[in-house]
Structure 1
Amino acid sequence: MANTTRTIMIAIDDSDHSEYAFDFYAEHIYKPEDRIVLVHVPEYSNILSTSSLLTDPNIVSELLKDMEERTRDLVEKYSIKMREHNVSGHVKQQCGKPGEAIIEASREEGITMLILGTRGMGLVRRTFVGSVSDYCLHHSDVPVLICRHKTSKHSKGHHS
């Protein structure tokens, strides 16, 4: 019998959008034999590599402590969510620009599918800065599922 294990990568951060993506996976896509990789790209990895303003070691140290604490909280939150949904997997922390780092992690892990939340940026902002979901969609070697949060202000919906 062929190996039926899928490796699903879900990008996480401390937003409602990534929580919605995880919940969508757990409720609609999950199969018991799935292996889950939650990938997290801390914000500071991008800031530290691009900012010339961070020359004060005390500021850098405080920033790192704050981000490490937020990352620990995030890992704990998703560890609990995985246990609640009886999902097995691990968290992979990746450094760099978020889109590039997620794609790099997806290749390292040999994933079957990539799942992302989206902040639903407006057209102008997305045109100038791009979005992580756009980047991943165009650079992924595997199918990408982009979950738009129902309450996103840019979601299309019927008004009564």
Structure 2
Amino acid sequence: MDRLHRMGNDVVVAHCPDYSAIYHTPGISGDPSLVAELVREEAVKIGVIVDKLRERLTKTGVPGRILRLNGHPGSSLVKAAEEEEVDYVVTGTRGRGMMSRKILGSVSDYIVHHSHVPVVVCQRPKEQQQQV
């Protein structure tokens, strides 16, 4: 926000959960009750994320709104950017290794290659990245 946001900008924060790991994990995808429980747990985590995003917008005084999206994250985010007529997209990256990206795909790669507007991909500092 410090580097890209300018007064007068309206910010649209979009979050689309990625369930691909659940459906591609051996032993999990064949058990509907386990998948349902994992989806419920994810919904709680999403609520926490959305609350933190809302708090951050309020705390910084940045005007904007939050979109909760469903579907494939990459295409859902690109579609939302088109519908909201944004000027640019800022997305994060988890810093996954090459194998994870090959198997699960990369949302940020998808957005970069399919967005109709410029995309800024931000990466967390190495010490904050999760090892997958």
Normalising by the residue count of structure 1, what TM-score does the alignment of the two structures yield?
Answer: 0.66
Runs of 4+, deviation exceeding 3 Å: 43-48, 62-65
Tell me, yes or no, if structure 1 residue 73 matches structure 2 residue 73. no
8 Å contact from structure 1 (residues 45, 96) kept in 2:
no
Gaps of 5+ in 2: none
Secondary structure, in 3 states, of the residue corresponding to 1:27? coil
Tell me, yes or no, if structure 1 residue 137 matches structure 2 residue 112. yes
Q: Following the alignment from structure 2 to structure 1, what is the Cα–Cα distance between the partners of residues 96 and 39?
A: 27
Percent identical pairs in the alignment equals 30
Q: Following the alignment from structure 1 to structure 2, what is the Cα–Cα distance between the partners of residues 79 and 69?
A: 15
Match of 2:62 in 1: 87
If you compute each CA radius of gyration, which structure gives the higher value, 1 or 2?
1
Secondary structure, in 3 states, of the residue corresponding to 2:71? coil
Tell me, yes or no, if structure 1 residue 151 matches structure 2 residue 95. no
Match of 1:55 in 2: 32
Q: Following the alignment from structure 2 to structure 1, what is the Cα–Cα distance between the partners of residues 100 and 35?
A: 29
Gaps of 5+ in 1: 1-25, 155-160
Selected match of 1:106 from 81, 89, 104: 81
Q: Following the alignment from structure 2 to structure 1, what is the Cα–Cα distance between the partners of residues 49 and 43?
A: 10
Q: Deviation per CA, 1:56-111, whole angstroms, max 9, x where unpaired?
A: 3x862x34432332222111111111112110111111111111111111112111
Shift in CA distance, 79/121, structure 1 to aligned 2, threshold 3 Å: same
Shift in CA distance, 36/107, structure 1 to aligned 2, threshold 3 Å: same
Shift in CA distance, 147/93, structure 1 to aligned 2, threshold 3 Å: same
Secondary structure, in 3 states, of the residue corresponding to 1:116? strand
Shift in CA distance, 80/153, structure 1 to aligned 2, threshold 3 Å: closer
Selected match of 2:90 from 106, 112, 115: 115
Q: CA RMSD in A?
A: 2.6
The answer to which structure, 1 or 2, has the higher relative contact order (CA under 8 A, 6+ apart) is 1
Q: Following the alignment from structure 1 to structure 2, what is the Cα–Cα distance between the partners of residues 77 and 71?
A: 10
